[in-house]
Amino acid sequence: MTQEPKIQNIDPSMKSSAGDSLKGTVQVPGDKSISHRSLMLSSLAVGESRVRGLLEGEDVLATAEAMRQMGADINRSENGEWRIHGVGVGGLKEPADVIDMGNSGTSTRLILGLLSSHELTATMTGDGSLRGRPMKRVITPMEQMGARFMTRRDGRLPLAVTGTSTAQPLSYESPVASAQVKSCVLLAGLNTRGVTTLKESVATRDHTERMLSAMGADLMVSDHEDGSRTVSITGPVTLSPIDLDVPGDISSAAFLLVAASIIPESDVTLKNVGMNPLRTGIIFALKHMGADITLLNEQILGGEPVADIRVKAARLKGVTDLPVHPSTMIDEFPVLFCAASVASGTSRFTGLEELRVKESDRIAVMAQGLKACGVSFTELEDGIEIVGNNGKVKGGGHIDSHLDHRIAMSFSILGQMAQEAITIDDASPINTSFPGFKNLMQGLGASLD
């Protein structure tokens, strides 16, 4: 009689309970946005690129695999350095199989820009979260450049795209403030003869512009008085290889900035964190709430500003007038909501409609979790108003994280302050952006099982 294989049930949940203060010096993993772009752009360069400190999270590994499927030679050496031999702009080959982008919106939207301007047909899918996210925002400009799409209802994944090597240059005004839309159009412009222009109503993270310029692209960036930005690229472009050290991800650092601020007597230093001025909103927001944050060793590394950040526990107060545009801290709102829950006074966050179309509806899912943890709030169409509980939170909630890494990490931080432990249903999505999160937190003194 043959024995049936045993199915091992590995419990993906995580329990977060009040522990010690956080103390120590750590390095958070590499910046996700820069890591994606380094793999995509060096796959299009002529010659060998070298990248150190690449984020080895699932989202970035999905980008690496997609670029391999299109002909790039991408290898990780034993010392952790990544070596990429590009195929040259215009040289991507048709993938032989479906490209699976996992949980990653950035991979999907940026790679659609590349596929649209190459003579090939490709199919793309992703996990349950990604298949629910809007893709029309990139399909619309790509269709105007000449690509053709077949998609599920409302432009959702899975989809098929047929690109063209004779794409038409486009002048496009993006209806959403999105670095992904901007980057998609600029990447399509790489292999398009003529000037492709993207206008955004507010300047969003500019890692694509910085890296393209460093690799020799002919790029024009104009910042306007009203905060909007226009970027033009003249194609076709020949890209030189890069040699890059990826800075730590400020979006990952944010969890520690909030944790060390709200857990009494904490004192944590984060080494070498990216300080791109279009990403530092969380620092201004927390300081505005009374956080004790100091920047040290500020320098430029690989074309991006970086610094060490020291954060010590402080009494936070609520905030109703965030001093920054939401796009400068778009992924940091879930954990900022946790900070607001234990601050003194009421906080009000608005203008956050984009949060509803991330890996989950981050307003609704955070609201659900905060309710389960005894926090008082009012959900708004484009944000949330949270009544701070003055240094305490009841906790005890069972959190449904909806395949969203940032929700899982946010509640694991709140649990460190809670009177009753908080349980997160599935902590595995954390690997999309912050592999090693649990160990790093435990090393600083957090109580996570």
Ligand X SMILES: O=C(O)C1=C[C@@H](OP(=O)(O)O)[C@@H](O)[C@H](O)C1
Annotated binding site for phosphoenolpyruvate: 32, 105, 133, 180, 362, 406
Query: Which one of residues 72, 179, 219, 260 is an interface residue with ligand X (CB under 6 A)?
Result: 179
Residue 31 a catalytic site member: no
Closest contact distance (angstroms) between CB of 111 and ligand PEP is 11
**Does residue 332 touch ligand PEP according to CB under 6 A?**
no
Subset of residues 300 to 329 that bind ligand PEP, contact rule: CB under 6 A:
none
Q: What share of the chain is helix, strand, coil (3-state, %, to 5)?
A: 35, 25, 40
CA 43 to chain centre: 21
**Count of residues touching ligand PEP (by CB under 6 A):** 9
**Does residue 104 touch ligand PEP according to CB under 6 A?**
yes
Subset of residues 188 to 227 that bind ligand PEP, contact rule: CB under 6 A:
none
Q: Give the binding range for ligand PEP (CB under 6 A) out of 98-106, 118-126, 164-172, 384-392.
A: 98-106
Tokens (6 digits) for 273:
């964190």
* Per-residue x/- track, 305-344, ligand X (CB under 6 A): -------------------------xx-------------
Q: Give the binding range for ligand X (CB under 6 A) out of 117-125, 163-171, 173-181, 343-351.
A: 173-181
**Does residue 180 touch ligand X according to CB under 6 A?**
yes
**Does residue 354 touch ligand X according to CB under 6 A?**
yes
Closer CB to ligand PEP, 229 or 405, in the complex:
405
Q: Give CA–CA dist 37/107, Å, rounded.
A: 9
Contact 22, 445 (CB under 8 A): yes
Closer CB to ligand X, 117 or 432, in the complex:
432
Q: Give the binding range for ligand X (CB under 6 A) out of 147-155, 174-182, 340-348, 439-447.
A: 174-182
Query: How many other C-beta atoms lie within 10 A of the C-beta of residue 101?
Result: 25
Closer CB to ligand PEP, 104 or 232, in the complex:
104
Instruction: Name the binder of 359 from ligand X, ligand PEP, none, CB < 5-8 A by kind.
Output: ligand PEP
Closest contact distance (angstroms) between CB of 265 and ligand X is 32
**Does residue 331 touch ligand PEP according to CB under 6 A?**
yes
Q: Give CA–CA dist 449/438, Å, rounded.
A: 8
- Supply φ then ψ for residue 408, to 5 degrees: -60, -45
Q: Which of 59, 100, 249, 331 is catalytic?
A: 331
What residues have CB less than 8 Å from 300, skipping those under 6 apart? 306
Contact 147, 113 (CB under 8 A): no
Q: Give CA–CA dist 228/223, Å, rounded.
A: 6
Q: Give the binding range for ligand PEP (CB under 6 A) out of 79-87, 100-108, 260-268, 305-313.
A: 100-108
| DSSP code of residue 105 | H
Closer CB to ligand PEP, 69 or 433, in the complex:
433
Closest contact distance (angstroms) between CB of 255 and ligand X is 14
Instruction: Name the binder of 406 from ligand X, ligand PEP, none, CB < 5-8 A by kind.
Output: ligand PEP
**Count of residues touching ligand X (by CB under 6 A):** 10
Instruction: Name the binder of 178 from ligand X, ligand PEP, none, CB < 5-8 A by kind.
Output: ligand X
Contact 158, 132 (CB under 8 A): no
CA angle 264, 269, 273 (to 5 degrees): 130
**Does residue 106 touch ligand PEP according to CB under 6 A?**
yes
Distances (CA, A) of 12 to 107, 370, 438, 439, 449: 25, 21, 13, 15, 10
- Supply φ then ψ for residue 234, to 5 degrees: -105, 120
What residues have CB less than 8 Å from 100, skipping those under 6 apart? 62, 65, 124, 125, 126
Contact 18, 417 (CB under 8 A): yes
Closer CB to ligand PEP, 208 or 389, in the complex:
208
Closer CB to ligand X, 191 or 204, in the complex:
204
Subset of residues 349 to 408 that bind ligand PEP, contact rule: CB under 6 A:
358-359, 406
What residues have CB less than 8 Å from 11, skipping those under 6 apart? none
Return the SS3 of 17. Answer: strand
Nearest CA-CA partner of 141 in 123, 122, 167 = 167
Query: How many other C-beta atoms lie within 10 A of the C-beta of residue 96?
Result: 8
Instruction: Name the binder of 279 from ligand PEP, ligand X, none, CB < 5-8 A by kind.
Output: none
According to DSSP, the residues that pair with 86 across neighbouring strands are none
Subset of residues 20 to 39 that bind ligand X, contact rule: CB under 6 A:
33
Q: Give CA–CA dist 165/147, Å, rounded.
A: 10
Active site members? 331
Q: Which residues bind ligand X (CB under 6 A)?
A: 33, 106, 178-180, 183, 205, 330-331, 354
